Amino acid sequence: MTTSLFSPARCAVGVFLLSAALQASAYDDRDFLKHAAQSGQAEVVASKLAETRSASPEVKAFAQAMVADHTKVNEELKALAAKKQVDLPDDPSFPQQTKLKTLSTGDAAKFDERYAKQFGIAAHKDTLRLFEKAAAKAEDPEVKAWAAKTLPALKHHLEMAQALPVNQKKK
């Protein structure tokens, strides 16, 4: 028995895989707003924890700046989402919650390093990618403009995190 290169089963699998790939790469303004909300919430929670748990004055100052800046951005985001009739999640994503749990329960002596690397550097890199994509691909002009307007502050936050003394060790 020979099988055709274009058998119905192979064609169905091909169509399914192509559809899944297109959906995975598709951009959606609503998803951006939701992911931005979760990222902002995670940053505020982690930074409030750092304000009380950090042993480093520099890390505490960074955390205070992150709470102030991300709280302001989160409020702007809530207003934009309300205008666009998008319901935002109330909490960080499950993976972000897991990182927050690890941050809060890990070795106290390594707290500053974990916070600076996970929420200062890694989270800001992820958030920058999210906002850069929205600034380039958002369909709604207001969403696109807000993402673009927020990018410079996020880049500055990443630079601030990279400059923290705890991130200067062990290079």
CATH architecture of structural domain 27-168: Up-down Bundle (1.20)
Mean pLDDT confidence for 27-45: 96
Lowest mean pLDDT among 23-27, 53-57, 112-116, 122-126: 23-27
Strongest mean pLDDT among 20-24, 83-87, 103-107: 83-87
Please state the rounded mean pLDDT for residues 44-59: 96
With beta carbons less than 8 A apart as the criterion, state whether 31 and 86 touch: no
- What is the arithmetic mean of pLDDT over 143-170? 93
Cα 38 to Cα 165: distance, rounded to the nearest angstrom:
28
Residues 108 and 92: their CA atoms lie apart, in Å, by 23
pLDDT digits (tens, 9 = 90+) for 111-124: 999 999 999 999 99
Residue with the bigger pLDDT between 25 and 103: it is 103
Indicate the domain borders of the chain.
27-168
Q: Which residue has the tokens 């993976």?
A: 95
pLDDT interval class at 7 (50, 70, 90): low
What is the identity of the amino acid at 151? L
Q: Is residue 26 predicted with pLDDT exceeding 80?
A: no
CA-derived radius of gyration, the chain: 20
The DSSP call for residue 108 is: G
pLDDT in tens, 57-75: 999 999 999 999 999 999 9
In the predicted model, what is the mean pLDDT of residues 148-155? 98
The Cα 97–Cα 46 span in angstroms is: 10
Tokens of 170: 């062990």
Residue 22 confidence class, pLDDT cut points 50, 70, 90: very low
Structure tokens at 7: 């058998």
